[in-house]
Each structure stands twice: as structure tokens, then as C-alpha cells.
Amino acid sequence: MPAHARLRLSSLGVTTSWSQWAPSAIFGCAMRVRLGRRRGTVCVVGLVLLACGSRSELAGQWGSGTAGTLSGGASSGGGAEDGQSGGAVCLGREWPLDPPSLCRGQLSLKPCLEPPACVEPYFPVLLPSGDAVCLCPSGRWGRTCERQTVRIELGERHACALLDDGQMRCWGRNEFGQALSPSGAFSHVALGNSHTIALDDSARLSCFGSNSAGQCDAPPGRYMAVAAGEDFSCALHEDHRLFCFGGPFDAGSPTIEGAYLEVVARAGHACALRTDGIVVCFGEDELATRTPPRGPYTTLATGEHHACARRLGGRLECWGQNLLGEASEPEQSFVSLALGTTHSCGVFESGEAGCWGSSEGDRTFSPEGKFVSLSANAGHSCGVRPNGEVECWGGGTPTSLPPMAPYQAMAMGSALCVQPVDGPVRCLDTVLQPKLPGPFVELGQGGDSLCGQQRDGFLVCERFDGTRGPNLGTLSAFDVGDFAVCGVDPRGALHCQAPLGADLEVPFGDYFDVSVGADGACGLNSSCQSSCIGAAELPPRFQASRFVAIDLTEGGGCGILLEGGVQCWGRLDSLMNTSWPAWSRIAVNADSVCGLTRQGHLSCRGALELAALEDGFSYSGVVMRDGGVCALRNDGRLSCFGAYFIPAPD
């Protein structure tokens, strides 16, 4: 095996200039490195060899711009004979303007003129291949320098991801603030039903969300691991004592005696791994807490009613509920585990993932490729790949939408559904996923129907049980609600179909838009006046009003007036005393109204006024349901506030 001399670019200093020869007695190889200061830029030149070996062994070791790791990696200049011009690597916040001394040599370098768009604290890097990439603090590099996910944790109602810089990003249900992650760097995070507990890089606990059962009342101290059940939390103290608090547990003293290395929790129980490798389970679930097989074990995981532990050689032993094979462990070796309610998953020694148990909703589908970690909840699983990408499989829940995915359409009714730029429609809050033949430019969702409008205007609808929904043909505008699916055809005629497919009688007119709520529908005609059916009739004082847009909720609604301003009626009538921005789009729910200005900025009035603050981003669409609002950014990213939360990207 050749000896390797490794240069860690992420730790280079820039205070002085120096040269050093590093001869090797093995092959008579030499490495010359010169560090120089140029307007805040570090340049490493003359890399003849960064690894000692034959030239055939070393050829091609420089990266070509694909993702990899510079820190700790071996590299080669690939054949320079003079010991000085084997290539250049330029680092720094200022990009050197075509320094000819750095761009010579047998490797054909592209001119150092255009740096990659690296965001602080990432450095632009020019590889000897001529590829421009970004060097991250961890030493990882690639064509972009967005922070990467290193671990994802799924709760039943929300989820959190830990990024490579220690920051935490959460999304999902947010009634109690459980998805509003604090700033700072974190090493561990665990999720209960309505709370989140995390361990920061100073070994201190941070807990947010509901504390109704004392699940955030941790004893003071420094900790090394955390876990969370439905309404309680557990934390492993740095002296290996175990404390559980909230729900049935008293936080004043260690929950069980002994010294522990790991703790996991789910629903109403927890399991902990002692320093001697023995697993101890306790709590309210009789199946999961029955006496585990005797160890020793090296790691463990728990589902809602079963648990599994890994022996020293990688083989598993599982116990507890086994109705659908979730506790029937495969005869293979694993490095990590993730357990749901009726299914289980693990990462094999090869890095590939495998799942077993209930196959409902493709829960046991195992994607190809390698993973570094997995997490599972009742309906689905998610894994983090070595390059930081997150992939999820199984049924949809509030946690199944990874943050910052690019989308081109969305709809919110009984579920939040999105149309990715590349891929099928995905819905949250429902295990059943649509099979609509997309892609679509617009989505609508209400009652048990999801509709998508194709680029040619044709509307395709499907019920969540998989049967075909209402058929209204080609439309210029449409809306979907619990009451009906309604649309305006290219001639301006209004059509509505009830959930079971029956045509509804609608007023004759020349329409340009329509809104559907829970108990009625209203169309806007060419005079900007409304005509309504069902229980959506406007109050007499508003029937002469002229609107450019309206939106309905059960028992009320709001509209943007032709001359400017907003009128609300019914259950939203109390908002009439509010000052209104100049909105071009509007959406309502039971207690709030939100809109977009002509510049695309989002603002809300009512219960969500403080939840969706004007953040400076530009949005192209906004939808609402009770307790929450979602807005689609112009760059295709989604931000949700209130009862459902997806953070706006940095």
C-alpha cells in the first residue's frame, strides 16, 4: 500500500507565505506546496503529488466537479515533470482575476475568471480539472454549496432535519410551535406528538412546542442524547444517568437506576441501552416493554408497539407486536435501524436500505442506492443519502414533504397537495396518494376530490379512493371545494358538479372566475359582480359590489374590490375594520384572510396575522385551510405558516 500525504484544504492558514519540500523515500516522489496571500485568496500551486505512488496509480485522482470530499482526500497533479506546475487550487472569498502564474501546467485549466456562487461561509474552489466548485466547512465539495442534511427525524405530525452546519429545519403540524426550530447548532433532536426536544452543541437541552404534560421540564445539566414519546421526553445525562419527564414520569430523579449509553422512545414507552449492553424497556405499552432478549447489544430502536436491537455482529433481535411481520427480523447484518408502527427498516452493512412488515402504502418499498441514516413513523420512512439528499417512501403524512423542494402548483383542502416540477403530485395528511396523469399547472382540492389542470386547460379529477372525479373538460378557471367542483369554460359559461358527479344548476352569465367553499359557490361575471349558489349568497349590502377576486369558507368569505380594498362577510365580517394592503390574490379560512400584493409579497389579517409576517419573498400563489396558510414562491419553493409549517428557505 502506498503511503499517502494528505493536504486538508479546509484547515489551511493564510497569515504567511511559505514553501516546503516533502520528499518521500518510497518512490522518490516530491510535493511542493506554496501558500500565498492575494486579496484574501489562498492559492495552492505546484501540486506535483499529494499522494505517493506510481504515476499510473495516481492518474485521474483529481475530482471532475462531481460531489466528493477534499478534506482528507488524496489528489494528484497527474503528470507534471518540472515539480512546479502540476495545477492550481484557488480558495478565498475574492476570486483572482486571471493570474497567469496559477493557470499554467500540463493540466488544461480554465481561466480563473468566474467564481461559483458560494454563500458564506463557503469558499469558491478551482480544481486542476478546471471545474469550479464550493468548499464547505466540513470539507465536502460539489457544484453548489447549499447546506446538506445529515439526519432526518420523523414524528407522527411533524419532522426535523439536522444540517451539516448543525442548524435544524423543521416542518409539519405546528399548532403549538413544535415546528418552529430555534437558531443555533444542534447534535440530536427527538419529536413527540406536539413538542420537540433537541441537544445543542454545548450539551444543553432546548425544548419547544407544547408543555402540557411537563414534557419540556428537564432537570438542569449537560446531556448526551435525547428521545421523545407522545407526551414525555427522555434525556441521557453526561454522567450516563437517565431522566424521563412529562406524562407518567417524575423529572426529579433518574427514571431507572444504572448507567446508559442510548435511549429511544415512542408513544407511551421508552427503551434504554445500558453500558453493559443490556436493554431495559419501561412505560405503558405492554407489547414493546415486555422483557427484551438478553444482550449484549450495540444499538436499538423502537416502534409504537415493537422494538429491535442490534448485536455486536450486526444481527437483529426484535420483540413486541408482530401482527404484520414488523418484528420478524431479516437474517442479515445491519448498521442502523428505524421502526414505524407496523413496519421496520434498517441500513445494511452495504449501505443499502431494507424494510419489512406491512406493505400498505409501499411502506416496505426499499429504494435502490445507499443511505447513511433512516427514520420512520406510522405511514412512511425517509432516508439520507451520502450526498445529503433526502428520499421518502410510503404514504403521505404531515411529515412526508421534505423542505425546500421545487414545486409549480399546490392546493389545500382536507390535505395539502403539491405538484413538483419533476415528478407526480404528492399529498400530505393522507395515506392514499393520487395517481393523476400530470404534470399540472394548477391544482384544486376539496372534499374527497383532487383536480389538476393540464397545460391545454383540460381538467382531470380523482377521488382519494382512486375513482374518477367530476369531468368538466377544458376550462379557463376552476375551483374545488367540499360543495362542488366548478369551472368556467372558454366561452365564459359556468359549470358545477356535486361530489357524486351530479350537475348543479347555475345562473346564466359571462364569467371569468369562480370560488367554491364548504357550503356554496360564487362566480364572478364580466361586470365583476357575483352570482352564487348554495349557502354562499353575499349579504344584500354587498350584492352590488364589484370584485376582481373572491374566496369562500364555510359561512363567509372575502373579496378584492375592483376599486381597491377588501370586503368580508359572514363569519369573517369582524375583519372589516382592518386596514388592507393592495392585494391581487386572496385566500380565506375560518378566522383569517391572506393575500399577495402585486409585487407578490404575502400578508395576513385575523388569527394568522402574526404567524405569516411579511418576509420580503415574492410569491405566485396562496392557499389556506383552518389554522394555516401556504404560499408558493416564485422560485418554486413552498412556505407554510400556522397549523402547518414549512420554513421559507434562507
pLDDT in tens, 243-271: 999 998 887 678 889 999 999 999 999 99
Q: Does the structure show a pLDDT above 60 at 193?
A: yes
Torsion sign (Cα): 435, 437, 441, 443: negative
Contact 637, 620 (CB under 8 A): no
Reply yes or no on whether the pLDDT at 405 is more than 80. no
How many whole angstroms separate alpha carbon 115 and alpha carbon 473?
50
Residue pair 224/250 in contact by the 8 Å Cβ criterion? no
Residue 343 has pLDDT above 80, yes or no: yes
Query: What percent of the chain has pLDDT above 70?
Result: 73
Angle formed at CA 198 by CA 196 and CA 204, multiple of 5 degrees: 135
Please determine, for residue 534, whether its predicted confidence score (pLDDT) is greater than 80. Answer: yes
Distance of CA 384 to the CA centre of its chain: 11
Supply the mean pLDDT for the chain.
77
Identify the pLDDT of residue 68.
33
Q: What is the mean pLDDT of residues 579-602?
A: 91
Q: Give the separation between CA 507 and CA 77, rounded to whole angstroms.
A: 77
Cα–Cα distance, 289 to 319 (Å, whole number): 9
DSSP letter, residue 352? B
Q: How confident is the model at residue 171 (pLDDT cuts 50, 70, 90)?
A: confident
C-alpha cell of residue 140 = 465536502
Among candidates 409, 408, 403, which has minimal Cα distance to 390?
403
pLDDT recorded at residue 432: 63
Per-residue pLDDT for 28 more than 80? no
Mean pLDDT of 469-477: 93
pLDDT at 21: 23
- Strand positions, DSSP E, 204-248: 205-209, 223-228, 232-237, 242-246
Architecture of domain 407-645: 7 Propeller (2.130)
**pLDDT higher for 542 or 438?**
542
Locate 489 and state its grid cell. 369554460
- Check if the beta carbon of residue 352 is closer than 8 Å to that of residue 366: yes
Q: What is the CATH number of domain 149-394?
A: 2.130.10.30
**Does 5 or 577 have the greater pLDDT score?**
577
3-state secondary structure at position 391: strand
DSSP state, residue 370 = B
State the pLDDT confidence band at 134, using cuts at 50, 70 and 90. Answer: low
Check residues 307 and 256 and name the one with the higher pLDDT: 307
d(CA 179, CA 134) in angstroms, rounded, equals 30
Which among 359, 388, 354, 369 is positioned nearest to 141, based on CA atoms?
A: 388
Closest to 174 in 3D by CA, of 648, 645, 649? 645
Nearest-angstrom CA–CA distance, 339 and 271? 13
How far apart, in Å, do the first and last CA atoms of the chain sit?
Answer: 45
Greatest Cα-to-Cα distance within the chain, rounded to the nearest angstrom: 96
- What digits encode the pLDDT tens for the residues 29-74? 222 222 222 233 333 333 222 222 222 222 222 222 233 333 333 2
Instruction: Please check whether residue 453 is in contact with residue 476, taking contact to mean a CB–CB distance below 8 angstroms.
Output: no
Q: Which range has highest mean pLDDT (109-113, 285-289, 487-491)?
A: 487-491
- pLDDT band at 479; cut points 50, 70, 90: very high
Which residue type sits at 602? L
What pLDDT is recorded for position 525?
95
How many angstroms separate the CA atoms of 521 and 407, rounded?
28
Task: Provide CATH 2.130.10.30 ranges for the chain.
Answer: 149-394, 407-645
Residue predicted with more confidence, 613 or 478: 478
Sequence-separated contacts (24+) of 131-134 with Cβ below 8 Å: 131/63, 131/64, 131/65, 132/65, 133/63, 133/65
pLDDT(389) > 50: yes
Residue ranges of alpha helices (H) inside 67-118 are none
Segment 300-324 mean pLDDT: 94
Q: Is the pLDDT of residue 464 over 60?
A: yes
Strand partners, 259: none
Mean pLDDT of 339-350: 94
Q: How confident is the model at residue 24 (pLDDT cuts 50, 70, 90)?
A: very low
How many angstroms separate the CA atoms of 193 and 268, rounded?
11
Backbone phi and psi for residue 102, each to the nearest 5 degrees, phi listed first: -95, -10
For residue 559, the model assigns a pLDDT of: 96
What pLDDT is attached to residue 401?
A: 60
**23-27, 147-151, 199-203: which range is least confident on average?**
23-27
Highest mean pLDDT out of 144-148, 165-169, 244-248, 396-400: 244-248
- Per-residue confidence band for 169, with pLDDT thresholds at 50, 70 and 90: confident
At residue 430, the pLDDT reads 66
The answer on pLDDT for 195 being more than 50 is yes
Does the pTM surpass 0.85? The reply is no
**So what's the pLDDT on residue 98?**
35
Do 326 and 355 form a contact (C-beta atoms < 8 A)? no
Examine the pLDDT at 83 and tell me if it is beyond 60.
no
Grid cell locating 1? 500500500
